[in-house]
Each structure stands twice: as structure tokens, then as C-alpha cells.
Amino acid sequence: MQRSTKVTLAAVLFSSVLAACGGSSASEPVVIPDTVGLEVHAVSGLKFDASSYTATAGDIEVAYVNEDSIRHTLVVVEGDTKVGSFELKVNKSGDVDLGTINLPAGNYVLLCTVPGHQNMKADLTVK
């Protein structure tokens, strides 16, 4: 009984913190679907959470999570060419954007296209 009371209190406190930060009562927890085949986080310091990623060839569901406080995008480049019209955008901390891109096996580069963010670059190996 005492234990469940504590859990409930913690949940209430957590929601009020979220509401206070977001300025909106509609804050929802970030849910990344199980079907996601590539998860990339934008982190502070104008970088991704890894310098290289891997995925399985075919339709790849991509989740882009913003752990930073500013806007970032995510595109896939092969050689010097952007692949298709695929672009994910996360405008603020906590944002998650989802999209699907079809990629055959090969070596690609992930980029953020926001001006000044050219250091946000990572290798993507698709097998």
C-alpha cells in the first residue's frame, strides 16, 4: 500500500515537471515504436549520439530524437547526393520525428542540414 502511494506521487510530480517545462498540458512521453530500424539522437554540442550507425536494407523506419534544445534535421546522403525527399525535423528538446526510407545495402552518411551544423555527420552502413 505504502509502495504504490509512493509510485503514484512520483508519477504526479514527474508530470507536473513535464507540464512546467513544456508550457503545455499535452506533454506525452516519447514512444519509439518497436518497428524502428534506426534510432538517431541529436545531442548537445552539435552532434549525433554516435559516429556510425547500422541498419538492415529495405524499408527502414527511422526515429530522430532531439535531446538538444535547438532545431535539427536528419537527411541521408549517398556520395554527394541526398537520398530521395527523406528529411526528419525536430524543433525542440524532446521532439521525436519518424519516417521511413528505402535503402539498398551500401554506405551512406547522415547529416543535419541546419546552417552551421556541418559537424553533425555520421556514417550509416546498410547491410
CA dihedral 82, 85, 91, 93 (to 10 degrees): -70
User: Based on CB atoms, which residue is closest to Cu ion, 40 or 112?
Assistant: 112
Question: What is the rounded distance in angstroms from the CA atom of residue 42 to the CA atom of residue 90?
Answer: 9
Nearest residue (beta carbon) to Cu ion: 112
Judged by CB, which is closer to Cu ion: 18, or 99? 99
Q: Which of 124, 104, 102 is nearest to 50 (CA)?
A: 124
**CB-nearer residue toward Cu ion: 101 or 120:** 120
Chain residues binding Cu ion by CB under 5 A are 72, 112, 114, 117, 120
Rg (CA), the chain: 17
Report in angstroms how near the CB of residue 117 gets to Cu ion at its nearest.
Answer: 3
Distance (Å, whole) CA 120 – CA 103: 21
Least CB distance from residue 70 to Cu ion, whole Å?
A: 7
* Shortest separation between residue 120's beta carbon and Cu ion, angstroms: 4
